[in-house]
Amino acid sequence: MSRTAPRSVTVFTRSQPNPTDEAIRRVMDAASEAGVQLQLPADEVEKHGLEEREGTLLGADPAAETDLSLVLGGDGTILSSLRRYAGRNVPTFAVNYGAIGFLATIESDRLEEGVRLALNGDFDVRSLPTLNAGTPDGNQLAVNDISFHRMPKGRVAELGYSVEGHELGEVRCDGLVISTPAGSTGYNLANGGPVMAWGVEGYVVSFIAPHTLTARSLVVAPEDLIEVANRSEHEPVDMTTDGGHVHTVEPGGRVSVRFEKDVAQLAQLPRATFYERLREKFGRLSY
Same domain, 47 and 157: no
pLDDT of residue 258: 96
Q: What is the mean pLDDT of the chain?
A: 93
The answer to whether residue 286 scores a pLDDT higher than 60 is: no
More confidently predicted of 110 and 280 = 110
Tell me the per-residue pLDDT of 185-233, one tens digit each, with 9 for 90 and over: 999 999 899 999 999 999 999 999 999 888 889 999 999 999 999 999 9
Same domain, 201 and 168: yes
Domain count, the chain: 2
Residue 27, in any domain of the structure = yes
Residue 3, in any domain of the structure = no
Residues designated as active site: 75
CATH number of the domain to which 119 belongs: 3.40.50.10330
Between CA 118 and CA 72 the distance in angstroms is 12
pTM (two decimals): 0.92
| Mean pLDDT of all residues in 94-112 | 94
Q: What percent of the chain has pLDDT over 90?
A: 82
The answer to whether residue 284 scores a pLDDT higher than 80 is: no
Tell me the per-residue pLDDT of 7-59, one tens digit each, with 9 for 90 and over: 999 999 998 888 899 999 999 999 999 999 999 999 999 999 998 888 899 99
Same domain, 183 and 220: yes
Could you list the beta-strand ranges (E) of the chain: 8-13, 37-41, 56-60, 68-73, 92-96, 106-107, 124-135, 138-142, 145-150, 157-163, 166-173, 175-179, 203-208, 218-220, 226-230, 237-241, 244-249, 254-268
Per-residue pLDDT band for 174 (boundaries 50, 70, 90) equals very high
Same domain, 119 and 142: no
pLDDT of residue 244: 94
Between CA 88 and CA 285 the distance in angstroms is 36
Q: What percent of the chain has pLDDT over 70?
A: 98
Q: Provide the residue range defining the domain that includes 233.
A: 130-262
The answer to whether residue 2 scores a pLDDT higher than 80 is: no
